[in-house]
């Protein structure tokens, strides 16, 4: 009797161990990132490759300075010299160490901003371009809306903890992707050191972003840390000729978690051309059309595709569409579908569609 009970106990124990192993193996297949919020996004297509709480609103510390740089490059002149004010010198947190009254070019201030995470550089840029921090922050918010970062709000150009200064991992990836369209931005954030005599700067600069040394192909972007935001990191990595943006917010092991996301993307995604520019993707009738409507791809659609996942396309046009239509007019859209969801959308262009005569339209003949 005791032997039977013992054998039953052993069987139950072995079953639990087997189930536990199955559970562990299943969990291994799903990436876990130790961060409050995280995202991996292709910088060109904006296709999301991984996300965790990517639309949660949180403080983002000095990753704010990505937008500061964007606004500075949009409105400023690189060789213009800005005065370092008492306000800039007295700001707390990380600083370059500029002296009150120094005259620094905007180009140099951008290196101080992104290399050294200089809060004094951020204030000097804001005051030099807009007159004060408040007006500069308004420019930041306007640009954020223009980019599509709708869950973001800036109060300062440096990112020190402030009420109503917030972002999301998704928005931060969008902002970074926009910044990476600018060659100057890429040149700055992808460089490890810049000597003073390179551009006749007042001092030399060393980039404190160690991710440049830890991931092959890493070419930026920005670190950040405050008490409320925790440790943050925005990274860009060139993977087979394509830049992928990685964001981790409030992540103590930010370097390791970024590398983990990078390894995940590298192993699980391959860039593929879904549609070529000029491909005809639709042909059909259109109201009052004398000839057929034909829709073409406006550009190549190249996106990162997950291995062993099926991708399809779907064309959508308005039921209210009617002739006449001009050649190359934007008409309808094409969606790339994966796992039942649209992961990428682009517009299409039409051929020339002439309209039928008024008499035919009146009599209902198309």
Task: Note the pLDDT tens digit of each residue in 238-247.
Answer: 999 999 999 9
- The catalytic residue among 43, 45, 54, 62 is 62
In whole angstroms, what is the distance from residue 136 CA to residue 153 CA? 12
251 noted as active-site residue: no
Q: What is the enclosing helix (H) or strand (E) of 42?
A: strand 37-42
Compute the half-sphere exposure of residue 295: CA atoms within 13 Å on the CB side of its CA. 21
- Under DSSP, the state recorded for 196 is G
- The catalytic residue among 45, 85, 117, 251 is 117
Phi, psi of 72 (to 5 degrees): -60, -40
CATH topology of domain 52-217: Beta-lactamase (3.40.710)
Where in the chain are all domains bearing CATH 2.60.410.10?
Answer: 276-362
Picking from 171, 163, 145, 165, the residue whose alpha carbon sits closest to that of residue 153 is 165
117 noted as active-site residue: yes
| Backbone Cα Rg of the chain | 27
> How, if at all, do strands 311-316 and 330-338 pair?
antiparallel
Taking 70 as the pLDDT cut, the residues of the chain under it are 1-29, 358-366
- The catalytic residue among 65, 95, 222, 259 is 65
In whole angstroms, what is the distance from residue 213 CA to residue 320 CA? 55
Share of the chain above pLDDT 90, in %: 89
CATH topology of domain 276-362: Peptidoglycan synthesis regulatory factor (PBP3), Domain 2 (2.60.410)
The DSSP line for 82-103 is EE--HHHHT--SS---PPTT-E
pTM value?
A: 0.89
pLDDT at site 32: 96
User: b/e map of 284-302 (b: 16 or more CB within 10 Å)?
Assistant: eebebbeeebbbbbbeebb
CA geometry: angle 179, 185, 186, nearest 5 deg? 100
Q: Which residue has the tokens 């595709």?
A: 305
pLDDT at site 30: 84
pLDDT at site 66: 98
pLDDT at site 363: 62
Identify the sign of the CA torsion 94, 100, 105, 108.
negative
CA geometry: angle 197, 199, 205, nearest 5 deg? 70
65 noted as active-site residue: yes
Picking from 309, 315, 322, the residue whose alpha carbon sits closest to that of residue 49 is 309
pLDDT at site 360: 64
Where in the chain are all domains bearing CATH 3.40.710.10?
Answer: 52-217
Share of the chain above pLDDT 70, in %: 90
Task: Note the pLDDT tens digit of each residue in 140-193.
Answer: 999 999 999 999 999 999 999 999 999 999 999 999 999 999 999 999 999 999
pLDDT at site 19: 39
């Amino acid at each position: 009797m005791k032997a039977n009970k013992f054998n039953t106990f052993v069987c139950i124990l072995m079953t639990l161990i087997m189930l536990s192993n199955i559970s562990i193996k299943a969990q291994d297949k799903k990436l876990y990132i130790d961060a409050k919020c995280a995202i991996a996004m292709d910088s060109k297509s904006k296709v999301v490759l991984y996300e965790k709480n990517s639309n949660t609103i949180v403080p983002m510390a000095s990753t704010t300075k990505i937008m500061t740089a964007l606004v500075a490059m949009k409105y400023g002149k690189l060789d213009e010299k800005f005065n370092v004010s008492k306000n800039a010198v007295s700001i707390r947190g990380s600083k370059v160490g500029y002296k009150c009254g120094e005259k620094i070019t905007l180009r140099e201030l951008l290196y101080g901003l992104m290399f050294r995470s200089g809060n004094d550089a951020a204030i000097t840029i804001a005051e030099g371009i807009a007159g004060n921090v408040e007006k500069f922050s308004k420019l930041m918010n306007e640009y954020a809306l223009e980019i599509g970062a709708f869950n973001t709000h800036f109060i300062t150009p440096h990112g020190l903890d402030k009420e109503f200064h917030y972002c999301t991992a998704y928005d931060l990836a969008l902002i970074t992707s926009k910044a990476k369209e600018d060659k100057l931005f890429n040149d700055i954030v992808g460089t490890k050191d810049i000597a003073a005599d390179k551009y006749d700067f007042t001092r030399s600069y060393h980039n404190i972003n160690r991710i440049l040394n830890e991931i092959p192909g890493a070419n930026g972007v920005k670190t950040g840390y405050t008490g409320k935001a925790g440790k943050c990191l925005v990274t860009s990595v060139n993977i087979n000729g394509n830049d992928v943006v990685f964001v981790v917010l409030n992540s103590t092991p930010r370097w390791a978690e970024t590398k983990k996301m990078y390894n995940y993307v590298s192993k699980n995604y391959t860039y593929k051309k879904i549609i070529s520019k000029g491909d005809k993707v639709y042909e059909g009738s259109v109201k009052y059309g004398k000839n057929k409507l034909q829709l073409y791809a406006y550009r190549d659609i190249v996106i990162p595709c997950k291995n062993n996942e099926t991708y399809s396309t779907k064309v959508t046009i308005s039921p209210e569409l009617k002739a006449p239509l001009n050649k190359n007019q934007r008409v309808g859209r094409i969606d790339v579908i994966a796992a039942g969801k649209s992961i990428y959308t682009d517009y299409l262009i039409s051929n020339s569609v002439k309209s039928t005569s008024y008499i035919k339209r009146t009599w209902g003949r198309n």
